[in-house]
Amino acid sequence: MNNEIRVRFAPSPTGYLHVGSLRTALYNYLYARKTGGKFILRIEDTDRSRYVEGAVENLIETLQAVGLEYDEGPDKGGDFGPYFQSKRTDIYNKYVQELLEKDAAYHCFCTEDDLKKMREEQIAKKMDVRYDGRCRNLSKEQVQENLAQGKPFVIRAKIPDEGEIVFFDIVRERVSIKWETVDDQVLIKSDGYPTYHLANVVDDHLMEITHVIRGEEWLSSVPKHLFLYQALGWKPPKMCHLPLLLNPDKSKLSKRQGDVAVEDFLKKSYLPEALLNFVALLGWHAQGDDELYSLDKLENEFSLKRISKAGAVFDVEKLNWMNGHYLRSLELGYIAIKAKSFFVEAGLDISDNEKYLKIVDVTRNRISTLAEITEVATPFYASLKYSEEDRQIINDENSQKLFSFWLDNLKALDSITEENINHLLKQSTDKLGIKGKDLYFPLRLALFGSVHGPELPVIFDILGKEETIKRFTKILDLK
């Protein structure tokens, strides 16, 4: 084993990619990039009952969509494959046999009914629910007889039943867990597939993983894993367990309380840059107070030492704010490409690329997500609709004078520029005595359908001379 940092993201293909899993992938990716190491994608698909068709492809597409490129994985290969655990069963069987020979594991012939009764009895007695070890001390003859009879079995780890295990976690620091609270974990299931716990340990060792960076929910499993490392004579990787993600009410983040799938956020048009920035700050903080980080900047700033122990609240309002920042600050052409599908779906004509870019540029300043962009952009395309309150402003005597003044003067212009629009605004005050909201509200209503909107020179520029004349003519006809 060399000194290269090697980390892995090892999801199960059970459906969507949870935002918590995205954070795990991101922190692994960032640590690998910061240290010049390798980031590996490994698919933990040994639980065939939970396997979802197409989930692997969706997972890979989602990682690519947010820009997390891995160095080794199912579709990239590498020196440590295969990267699907379901294709490594022979490897696991070899090591489970070694554990049996070392008396670190044993055959368990308990049926589902046996286990159900055992759990019910423990609950009734208010005991911790865990396997009681009834098959731990079967003789070799009993085991062979059961196997000869074809009795179904699993293979369990023979966890010590007294004392404690102490280990160091990068986030939790010193952790102590009593062995009596640790279950005799199943290593090989009755279908012959390994559990996560065995496959995880074997693969992390053989793939030379140096740091295991994963969610806090796995902290209680560390004793089971360290037991296996010790039994097999292997040096364990360093451990780093990330804090829980929480809802605003401090409950664990779950789909019951809203979106938790990365795919859902991408479909709702959140930018990958904003999503990564937001997720990066869920449990990690930089040295300064800055909250806006590109992926490149995160790669430079990231440190495992600044991961917090406390749970991190998933605040959608903050995500919206952050996404709005990226909509305004990223290159216009990039945002325009991202926005196209929304314009097409809304039936808005984007054939005039110059006009389209101007509309995207002005509307991106008024939205939090791209899903909102067509609502803001539609007034530049469609016939305007007015409320009764709007009509009162439109039908006001001064408003009508204003519309006629602008219509006459626009017809006389060769073209519309910011300079001549500002000149006409000044003339509207000087010659008609109209100013303030009595000036701006009617003009915006005539051209944009709302008293609030972009700056007037911007609206005129996007609509052009011909369309603005049409709109003033039409609003005069409304009276």
Q: Contact at 8 Å (CB) between 356 and 350? A: yes
Tokens representing 211 are: 């740091």
Instruction: Bin 44: left if φ > 0, else alpha if -120 < ψ < 50, else beta.
Output: beta
Whether 369 contacts 319, CB under 8 Å = no
If we measure between CA atoms, which residue out of 320, 425, 375, 271 comes closest to residue 359? 375
| Active-site option among 255, 309, 426, 470 | 255
Burial (CB < 10 A; 0-12, 13-18, 19+), residue 323, is: buried
Q: Is it true that the peptide bond before 237 is cis, omega within 30 degrees of 0?
A: no
What secondary structure letter does DSSP report for 74?
T
Cα–Cα dist 137/158, whole Å: 10
d(CA 50, CA 15): 9
Contact in structure between 322 and 274 (CB atoms under 8 Å): yes
Closest CA to 263 of 19, 10, 9: 19
Active site residue 255: yes
Query: Can you tell me the distance from the alpha carbon of 17 to that of 20, in angstroms, rounded to the nearest whole number?
Result: 8
**Burial category of 210 from C-beta neighbours within 10 Å (exposed 0-12, middle 13-18, buried 19 and up):** buried
DSSP letter, residue 125: T
Instruction: From residue 144, give the alpha-carbon distance in Å to each of 107, 111, 115.
Output: 10, 17, 22
Q: Distance between CA 290 and CA 301 in Å, rounded?
A: 11
Element holding 7 (H helix, E strand): strand 6-9
| Catalytic residue list | 255
